[in-house]
């Protein structure tokens, strides 16, 4: 059952002039899995607060997805926050009249539905699950968003709490042009050899020094961009997840989309005052899989290992490692399949269907793996932040580490 709830005099939350309380409970039998259908909805001109609550399925263990187009008129009126693990609230202080639109619901199982045969009459306050426009999917923007659009970043360039980080491969690209205010970070500075195993994530003591030098502290909103359709941005997000840094997002489409959209570019360096980023008292190990943990999974199960390298590396037809193939029992899905030809993420429902077909579902523990932990960070990001899978870890040792230990099992070919 999905509830659309309208609230009025809850004096601790709403203004005293709201007079009505209306609750609409919509049973599953009235919801059809079809394309959005226009629906009439009129709100009084004097509305000064709109609250939206979407209750997640308490047994599912993960949050539902809310899409809210950041470039739309609605996004400029609303702000988005998360109250707790099961409730999302959307607030507005100046909502007036909404014309014909479509009401789309993404419930906790991520299915897309539309309401039919339902009219919301004139109310002082109406709770609505989501109003989507007829544009391609665009992800939410705000403090808790992990994907932002070029337009959102353009509109927020002057915010002092935002640090834009350019992680394109070559500093020469940065010299030639970059987003105003962006600081360049070579993506390889996040990695080093760990007990002989190359390109493992830097220890937290080094990561926090690097962040502080870029003017980042735990309260900074970090927005990272790279080339279109690249995995280095999500790798930085994953590294910050490990530190427990919550305010971080990827600019979708990369620098090429920023240029295509005609937004301002510069060759000037930003003026940055270094900050102190304290070492976290507790690391978020739940986002990082260790070699020992992967060993246990291979022997005893308990999680799915998802190898996201190109298929010829997975099967062992190609590869630079001492042994070729993949970790025993791991499944194959190339990370690039999550993107469109122009480097944008595919529709969430399309992504969800593809992963479910593979058996990768939200109720499972997922470990992403690749050659060196970067491609797998992209799939980690997709599953965790676009599809809201609750238990996803990135194995940054990946096949780089696994293949060089002769006693660990390696397979070739495709799993039937």
237, 392 contact by CB (below 8 A): no
Class of domain 147-260: alpha beta
Q: Characterize the bridge pairing of strands 162-166 and 120-123.
A: unpaired
* CA–CA distance, 316 with 369 (Å, rounded to integer): 15
Note down pLDDT in tens along the chain; length 416 residues: 222 233 222 223 333 333 232 222 333 333 333 223 232 333 322 222 333 333 223 223 222 333 334 443 333 333 332 222 222 222 222 222 222 233 333 333 323 333 333 232 222 223 333 332 222 333 334 445 799 999 999 999 999 999 999 999 999 999 999 999 999 999 999 999 999 999 999 999 999 999 999 999 999 999 999 998 899 999 999 999 999 999 999 999 999 999 999 999 999 999 999 999 999 999 999 999 999 999 999 999 999 999 999 999 999 999 999 999 999 999 999 999 999 999 999 999 999 999 999 999 999 999 999 999 999 999 999 999 999 999 999 999 999 999 999 999 999 999 76
28, 115 contact by CB (below 8 A): no
Q: Which is nearest to 226 in space by CA: 268, 265, 170?
A: 170
Quote the pLDDT of residue 24.
28
Q: Characterize the bridge pairing of strands 2-5 and 23-26.
A: antiparallel
* CA–CA distance, 294 with 288 (Å, rounded to integer): 11
Strands (E), 128-215: 131-132, 147-148, 162-166, 183-184, 191-194, 197-201
Quote the pLDDT of residue 415.
79
| Topology annotation, domain 288-411 | Oxidized Rhodanese; domain 1 (3.40.250)
Quote the pLDDT of residue 327.
98
Quote the pLDDT of residue 144.
55
* CA–CA distance, 371 with 385 (Å, rounded to integer): 22
Quote the pLDDT of residue 103.
32
For 338, phi then psi, to 5°, come to -80, -5
Quote the pLDDT of residue 145.
77
pTM more than 0.75 = no
Strands (E), 247-376: 248-251, 304-307, 326-327, 331-332, 366-369
* CA–CA distance, 346 with 144 (Å, rounded to integer): 21
285, 395 contact by CB (below 8 A): no
Q: Which long-range contacts (CB under 8 A, 24 or more apart) does 152-159 make?
A: 152/70, 152/71, 153/179, 153/223, 153/251, 153/258, 154/261, 154/263, 154/264, 157/181, 159/221
CA dihedral 108, 253, 358, 356 (to 10 degrees): 10
Domain span(s) for CATH 3.40.250.10 in the chain = 147-260, 288-411
* CA–CA distance, 385 with 6 (Å, rounded to integer): 29
Q: Which is nearest to 197 in space by CA: 408, 399, 383, 353?
A: 399
């Amino acid at each position: 059952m999905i509830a659309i709830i309208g609230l009025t005099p809850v004096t601790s939350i709403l203004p005293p002039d709201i007079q009505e309380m209306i609750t609409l409970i919509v049973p599953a039998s009235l919801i059809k899995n079809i394309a959005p259908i226009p629906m009439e909805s009129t709100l009084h001109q004097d509305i000064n607060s709109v609250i939206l609550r979407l209750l997640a399925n308490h047994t599912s263990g993960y949050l539902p997805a809310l899409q809210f187009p950041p470039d739309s008129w609605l996004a400029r009126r609303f702000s988005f926050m998360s109250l707790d693990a099961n409730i999302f609230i959307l607030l507005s202080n100046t909502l007036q009249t909404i014309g014909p639109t479509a009401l789309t619901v993404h419930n906790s199982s991520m299915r897309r539905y539309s309401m039919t045969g339902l009219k919301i009459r004139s109310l002082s306050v109406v709770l609505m699950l989501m109003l989507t426009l007829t544009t391609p999917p665009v992800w939410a923007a705000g403090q808790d968003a992990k994907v932002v659009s070029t337009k959102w970043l353009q509109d927020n360039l002057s915010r002092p709490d935002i640090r834009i980080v350019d992680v394109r491969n070559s500093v020469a690209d940065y010299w030639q042009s970059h987003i105003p205010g962006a600081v360049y970070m070579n993506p390889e500075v996040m990695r080093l050899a760990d007990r002989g195993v190359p390109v493992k994530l830097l220890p937290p003591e080094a990561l926090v020094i690097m962040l502080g030098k870029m003017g980042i502290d735990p309260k900074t909103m970090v927005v990272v961009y790279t080339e279109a359709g690249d995995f280095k941005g999500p790798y930085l997000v994953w590294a910050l997840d490990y530190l427990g840094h919550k305010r971080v997002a990827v600019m979708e489409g990369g620098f090429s989309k920023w240029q295509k959209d005609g937004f301002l570019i510069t060759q000037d360096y930003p003026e940055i005052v270094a900050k102190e980023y304290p070492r976290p008292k507790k690391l978020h190990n739940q986002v990082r899989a260790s070699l020992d943990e992967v060993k246990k999974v291979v022997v005893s199960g308990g999680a799915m290992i998802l190898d996201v390298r190109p298929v010829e590396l997975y099967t062992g037809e190609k590869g630079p490692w001492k042994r070729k193939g993949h970790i025993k029992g791991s499944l194959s899905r190339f990370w690039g399949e999550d993107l469109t030809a122009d480097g944008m993420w595919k529709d969430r429902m399309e992504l969800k269907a593809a992963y479910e077909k593979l058996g990768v579902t939200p109720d499972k523990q997922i470990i992403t793996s690749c050659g060196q932990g970067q491609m797998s960070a992209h799939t980690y990001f997709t599953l965790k932040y676009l599809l809201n899978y609750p238990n996803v870890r990135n194995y940054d040792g990946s096949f780089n580490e696994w293949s060089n230990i002769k006693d660990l099992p390696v397979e070739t070919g495709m799993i039937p």
